[in-house]
Amino acid sequence: MSRIVLGVSGGVAAYKAAFVLRAFTEAGHDVRVVPTPGALHFVGAATFEALSGNPVTTDVWSDVPEVAHVRIGQSADLVVVAPATADLLARAAMGRADDLLTATLLTASCPVVFVPAMHTEMWLHPATQDNVATLRRRGAVVLPPAVGRLTGPDSGPGRLPEPADIAALALVALQQGADALAPDLTGRRVVISAGGTREPLDPVRYLGNRSSGKQGWALARVAAARGAEVVLVAANVDMPAPFGARVVPVGTAEELRAAMLAEAKEADVVVMAAAVADFRPEHAASTKLKKGSAAEPSAVPLVRNPDVLVELVARRAPGQLVVGFAAETGDEDGDVLAHARAKLTRKGCDVLVVNDVSAGQAFGRPDNAAVVLAADGSATEVPHGSKDAVAAGIWATITSQSPRPSQP
Q: Which is nearer to ligand CTP, 183 or 306 (CB)?
A: 306
Among 307, 337, 363, 379, binds ligand CTP (CB under 6 A): 307
| 151 within 8 A of 12, measured Cβ to Cβ | yes
Among 309, 336, 351, 370, binds ligand CTP (CB under 6 A): 309
Q: Which is nearer to ligand CTP, 325 or 395 (CB)?
A: 325
Of 320, 331, 387, 327, nearest to 353 by C-alpha is 327
Q: Which is nearer to ligand CTP, 6 or 326 (CB)?
A: 326
Which strands form 269-272's sheet, in the order they lie side by side? 245-250, 229-235, 189-195, 269-272, 321-328, 351-356, 367-374, 379-386
- Considering the candidates 54, 131, 209, 236, report the single residue annotated as catalytic: 209
Query: Smallest distance, Å, CB 253 to ligand CTP?
Result: 6
Of 273, 72, 119, nearest to 128 by C-alpha is 119
Question: Can you give 295-348 as a three-state secondary structure string?
Answer: CCCCCCCEEECCCHHHHHHHHCCCCCEEEEEEEECCECCECHHHHHHHHHHHHC
| 127 within 8 A of 204, measured Cβ to Cβ | no
Query: Smallest distance, Å, CB 57 to ligand CTP?
Result: 51
End-to-end CA distance of the chain: 54
User: Which residues pair with residue 272 across a beta bridge?
Assistant: 193, 324
Q: Tell me whether residue 54 is one of the annotated catalytic residues.
A: no
Among 308, 321, 351, 375, binds ligand CTP (CB under 6 A): 308
Q: How many C-beta atoms surround the C-beta of residue 152 within 10 A?
A: 8
Query: Smallest distance, Å, CB 393 to ligand CTP?
Result: 17
Query: Smallest distance, Å, CB 349 to ligand CTP?
Result: 8
Helix, strand, or coil here: 359? coil
Instruction: State the Cα–Cα distance between residues 262 and 265, nearest whole angstrom.
Output: 6
Cα 61 to the center of its chain, rounded Å:
39
Query: Smallest distance, Å, CB 346 to ligand CTP?
Result: 7
User: Which residues pair with residue 5 across a beta bridge?
Assistant: 32, 79
Residues 207-266 interacting with ligand CTP (rule: CB under 6 A): 253
Instruction: State the Cα–Cα distance between residues 62 and 64, nearest whole angstrom.
Output: 5
Q: Which is nearer to ligand CTP, 112 or 398 (CB)?
A: 398
Q: Which is nearer to ligand CTP, 241 or 352 (CB)?
A: 352
Amino acid at 394: I
Q: Which is nearer to ligand CTP, 171 or 352 (CB)?
A: 352
Binding letters toward ligand CTP, positions 259-288, x by CB under 6 A: -------------x-x-x-x----------
Kindly state whether residue 202 participates in binding ligand CTP, applying the rule CB under 6 A: no
Helix, strand, or coil here: 247? strand
Query: Smallest distance, Å, CB 325 to ligand CTP?
Result: 4
Query: Smallest distance, Å, CB 167 to ligand CTP?
Result: 28
Kindly state whether residue 305 participates in binding ligand CTP, applying the rule CB under 6 A: yes
Residues 318-347 interacting with ligand CTP (rule: CB under 6 A): 324-326
Residue range at the interface with ligand CTP (CB under 6 A); choices 76-84, 144-152, 233-241, 301-309: 301-309
Kindly state whether residue 313 participates in binding ligand CTP, applying the rule CB under 6 A: no
Site residues for ligand CTP per CB under 6 A: 253, 272, 274, 276, 278, 305, 307-309, 324-326
Residues with catalytic function: 209
